[in-house]
Amino acid sequence: MGRYVIRRLLQMIPVFFGTTLLIFLMVNVMGDPIAGLCGDRQCDPATAAQLRTEFGLDKPVWQQYLTYMGNVFTGDFGTAFNGQKVTELMGTAFPITIRLTIVAIVFEIVIGISLGVVTGLRRGRPVDTGVLILTLVVISVPTFVTGLLLQLLLGVEWGVIKPSVSSEAPVDELIVPGLVLASVSLAYVTRLTRTSIAENARADYVRTAVAKGLPRRRVVVRHLLRNSLIPVVTFIGTDVGALMGGAIVTERIFNIHGVGYQLYQGILRQNSQTVVGFVTVLVLVFLAANLIVDLLYAVLDPRIRYA
Partner 1 sequence: MPEQQPWDETTGSGAISGAGAGGAMDLAMDEGVTLEKTPGGPEGTGPAGKPRSLWSDAWRDLRRNPVFIISALVILFLVIISIWPSLIADQDPLNCDLAKAQEGSQPGHPFGFDGQGCDVYTRTVYGARTSVAVGVLSTLGVSLLGGVLGGLAGFFGGAWDAVLSRITDVFFGIPVVLGGLVFLSVVTSSTVWPVIGFIVLLGWPQIARIARGSVITAKQNDYVQAARALGASNSRMMLRHITPNAIAPVIVVATIALGTYISLEATLSFLGVGLKPPAVSWGIDISAASQYIRNAPHMLLWPAGALAVTVLAFIMLGDAVRDALDPKLR
Residue ranges that bind partner 1, judged by CB under 8 A:
14-15, 18-19, 22-23, 26-27, 29-31, 136-137, 139-145, 148-149, 151-152, 156, 184-185, 188, 191-192, 195-196, 199, 231, 234-235, 238-239, 241-242, 244-246, 248-249, 252-253, 263-264, 267-268, 275, 279, 282-283, 286-287, 290, 294
The least CB distance from residue 145 to partner 1, in Å, is 5
Chain centroid to Cα 154, Å, comes to 25
What are the beta bridge partners of residue 79?
Answer: 85
Q: Which is nearer to partner 1, 48 or 297 (CB)?
A: 297
The least CB distance from residue 41 to partner 1, in Å, is 19
| Cβ pair 245, 280 in contact under 8 A | no
The least CB distance from residue 301 to partner 1, in Å, is 13
- Sequence-ordered alpha helix ranges (H) in 30-142: 33-37, 45-55, 61-73, 86-107, 113-121, 126-140
The least CB distance from residue 205 to partner 1, in Å, is 18
The least CB distance from residue 98 to partner 1, in Å, is 16
Q: Which is nearer to partner 1, 174 or 192 (CB)?
A: 192
Q: Hey, how many other C-beta atoms are within 10 angstroms of the C-beta on 128?
A: 18
Measured over the CA atoms of residue 202, residue 203, residue 208 and residue 213, the dihedral's sign is negative
Q: Which is nearer to partner 1, 33 or 99 (CB)?
A: 33
* Residue 288 amino acid letter: A
Q: Which is nearer to partner 1, 66 or 304 (CB)?
A: 304
* C-alpha–C-alpha distance, residues 195 and 181, integer Å: 23
* C-alpha–C-alpha distance, residues 183 and 202, integer Å: 30
